[in-house]
Amino acid sequence: MMTTLSQQFRAPGADPLTLIVNLRRDGFEWDGIRITESTGVLISGAVAVTRQLDLRGLHERIHAAERKVESDPAGAIGDAKELLEAVFRTVAENHRTAIDAAADVTEMLKAIRDVLLVVPPGITDAAKAEAILKRLLGNLSGLSGTIAELRNAYGSGHGKADGFVGLDRKHARLAVTIVGAIAAFVLECDPKADS
């Protein structure tokens, strides 16, 4: 039934009042096999990757962060930083790469950088791509560190004084979106993720 409705929704002139549309309105998606919670656009890339790789724990962390954006910006920022740590530690574990328990997120990314397959084989001008993508990884490391700073100052996880006023939803949305992009990229660059 769902497959038929899905095909109907994609057909030209389809009635927009189908079950598929209503599922999306209520925060769910039909992925061709099952009905799942939708994450909207914030971190959908990371959701798709964790679903594809069957990384349920990371998948749940992503949903937790995104659900908090509107109602608990500090919690969303805290969850986003924890998601980064979880992704970096998951990749490290896949490759038996040691990460110190006290390492910050930039140290974690540095520890796994060499195991990531960032430049695909057979690409035109691999040296140029490698130079550009090496700079990109440096920028992602800087963003990761900034997310950690944001979490320490304005996210959950550290006690705040009574009367403390935190950041808004837009800041939480930015943090969660950035983390989702980093998480998806790192997981997709892990050559052992599929296995």
For 19-28, 84-93, 169-178, which range has the lowest pLDDT when averaged over its residues? 19-28
What is the pTM (predicted TM-score) of this model?
0.73
Q: Exposure of 129 by Cβ count < 10 A (0-12 exposed, 13-18 middle, 19+ buried)?
A: middle
User: Is residue 99 over pLDDT 80?
Assistant: yes
Model pLDDT, residue 13: 54
Model pLDDT, residue 17: 44
Distance in angstroms between the alpha carbons of the first and the last residue of the chain: 33
User: Is residue 188 over pLDDT 50?
Assistant: yes
Map tokens 């979490």 to a residue. 151
SS3 letters for 62-79? HHHHHHHHHHCHHHHHHH
Model pLDDT, residue 108: 95
In sequence order, the 6+-apart residues with CB closer than 8 A to the CB of 7 are none
Percent of the chain predicted with pLDDT > 90: 45
Model pLDDT, residue 78: 93
Model pLDDT, residue 16: 45
- Rounded mean pLDDT of the chain? 81
In sequence order, the 6+-apart residues with CB closer than 8 A to the CB of 113 are 137
Residues β-bridged to residue 155: none
Q: What DSSP string runs through the chain?
A: -HHHHHHHHHSTT--S-SHHHHHHHTTEEE-SS-EEE--TTSSHHHHHHHHHTT-HHHHHHHHHHHHHHHH-HHHHHHHHHHHHHHHHHHHHHHTT----TT--HHHHHHHHGGGS--S-TT-TTHHHHHHHHHHHHHHHHHHHHHHHHHHHHHSTTS---TT-----HHHHHHHHHHHHHHHHHHHHT-TTS--
